[in-house]
């Protein structure tokens, strides 16, 4: 009989999304998809993070990543996307940006959030009407849970599941859409983006305003890291938002 799931935050799991510039198709065929997956595996040779789930669509891709250090996600996505952009431009005789931005990410907060995220990722092609069931789609991790795959290290993934009291049956049979997940949200300017980030942060942590953030060092660290890594705000901009010295933001970010 499985043990009860832990109640605390699953802070080492992150849902990551990448998307093509102007929502263009950047994974049009098997060669391009397999090349991106190959780069992911090559650049994660040090195993400082584990890919728990993934789905490659035509103009975007979703990943669930487990890591003790969020900076490792930034390093991996930067290296992989840069290498893939060079490959893609050469293959298609084009130049310029391939990805809309580095990536977007969100932290997984609870057990149900985690299970829903994995099922959400695997159900992307069903939702897009590319197939009728998730086991029919070739370019996701769903079938890698059934047999050995070329990207996921299933033994390590199952070990992480065991350590976090995660029942794999809930993943394979569970329902998705229990939570809202990052999609293709675009912002006209950083002021709108800042407003969105802060509103979501206040709501998620059940706090009222920026004063509640600056009076809690953990909130400062969490918000600063998210704005710097996920949304490309500079340390100076973060400092201005929080009313803190840029050097203090720098020290907080490098505590990771």
- Looking at residue 36, its pLDDT comes to 96
**C-alpha dist (Å) from residue 90 to 21, 32, 36, 85, 169:** 16, 12, 14, 8, 43
- Looking at residue 174, its pLDDT comes to 57
The predicted model gives 41-58 an average pLDDT of: 88
Mean pLDDT of the chain: 82
Supply the CATH number for residue 67's domain. 3.30.70.1290
pTM of this prediction? 0.68
- Looking at residue 230, its pLDDT comes to 61
pLDDT for residue 200 is more than 90: no
**C-alpha dist (Å) from residue 100 to 3, 26, 111, 180, 244:** 42, 11, 30, 21, 30
| Cβ neighbour number for residue 98 with a 10 Å cutoff | 20
Is the Cβ–Cβ distance between 3 and 165 less than 8 Å?
yes
Output the DSSP codes for 71-89. Answer: HHHHHHHHHHHHHHHHHHH
- Looking at residue 117, its pLDDT comes to 85
The domain boundary residue, chosen from 119, 140, 173: 173
pLDDT for residue 180 is more than 60: no
- Is 219 in the same domain as 112? no
- Is 141 in the same domain as 210? no
- Is 44 in the same domain as 165? yes
- Is 31 in the same domain as 125? yes
- Looking at residue 182, its pLDDT comes to 53
pLDDT range class, residue 160, cuts 50, 70, 90: confident
- Is 70 in the same domain as 147? yes
Residue 236, φ and ψ in degrees, nearest 5: -65, -45
The predicted model gives 23-50 an average pLDDT of: 90
pLDDT range class, residue 149, cuts 50, 70, 90: low
pLDDT range class, residue 193, cuts 50, 70, 90: confident
Helix, strand or coil, per DSSP, at residue 16: strand
**Higher-scoring residue by pLDDT: 145, 179:** 145
17-27 pLDDT, tens digit per residue, is: 999 988 899 99
- Looking at residue 76, its pLDDT comes to 92
pLDDT range class, residue 9, cuts 50, 70, 90: very low
Is the Cβ–Cβ distance between 40 and 34 less than 8 Å?
no
Q: Specify if 43 maps to a domain.
A: yes
The residue range of the domain holding 245 is 190-253
pLDDT for residue 39 is more than 90: yes
Q: Specify if 1 maps to a domain.
A: no
Which range of 83-87, 231-235, 245-249 scores highest in mean pLDDT? It is 83-87
- Is 169 in the same domain as 205? no
**C-alpha dist (Å) from residue 96 to 29, 59, 81, 89, 151:** 20, 16, 13, 8, 28
pLDDT range class, residue 3, cuts 50, 70, 90: very low
pLDDT range class, residue 32, cuts 50, 70, 90: very high
Least confident of 109-113, 119-123, 171-175, 182-186: 182-186
**Which percentage of the chain shows pLDDT scores above 90?**
34
């Amino acid at each position: 009989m499985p043990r009860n799931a832990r109640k605390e935050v699953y802070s080492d799991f992150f849902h990551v999304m990448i998307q093509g510039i102007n929502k263009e198709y950047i994974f049009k065929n098997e060669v391009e998809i397999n090349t991106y997956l190959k780069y992911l595996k090559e650049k994660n040779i040090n195993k400082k993070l584990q890919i728990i789930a993934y789905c490659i669509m035509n103009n975007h891709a979703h990943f669930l990543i487990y890591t003790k250090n969020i900076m490792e996600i930034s390093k991996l996505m930067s290296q992989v996307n840069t290498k893939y952009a060079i490959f893609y431009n050469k293959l298609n005789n084009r130049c310029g940006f391939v990805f809309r931005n580095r990536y977007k990410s969100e932290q997984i907060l609870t057990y149900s959030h985690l299970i829903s995220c994995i099922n959400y990722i695997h159900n992307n092609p069903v939702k897009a009407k590319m197939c009728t069931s998730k086991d029919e789609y070739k370019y996701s991790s769903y079938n890698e849970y059934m047999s050995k795959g070329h990207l996921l290290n299933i033994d390590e993934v199952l070990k992480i599941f065991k350590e976090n009291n995660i029942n794999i049956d809930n993943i394979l049979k569970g329902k998705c859409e229990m939570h809202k997940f990052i999609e293709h949200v675009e912002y006209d300017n950083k002021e709108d983006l800042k407003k969105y980030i802060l509103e979501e942060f206040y709501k998620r942590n059940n706090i009222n305003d920026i004063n509640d953030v600056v009076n809690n060092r953990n909130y400062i660290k969490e918000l600063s890291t998210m704005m710097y890594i996920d949304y490309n705000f500079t340390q100076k901009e973060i400092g201005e938002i929080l009313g803190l010295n840029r050097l203090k933001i720098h020290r907080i970010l490098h505590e990771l």
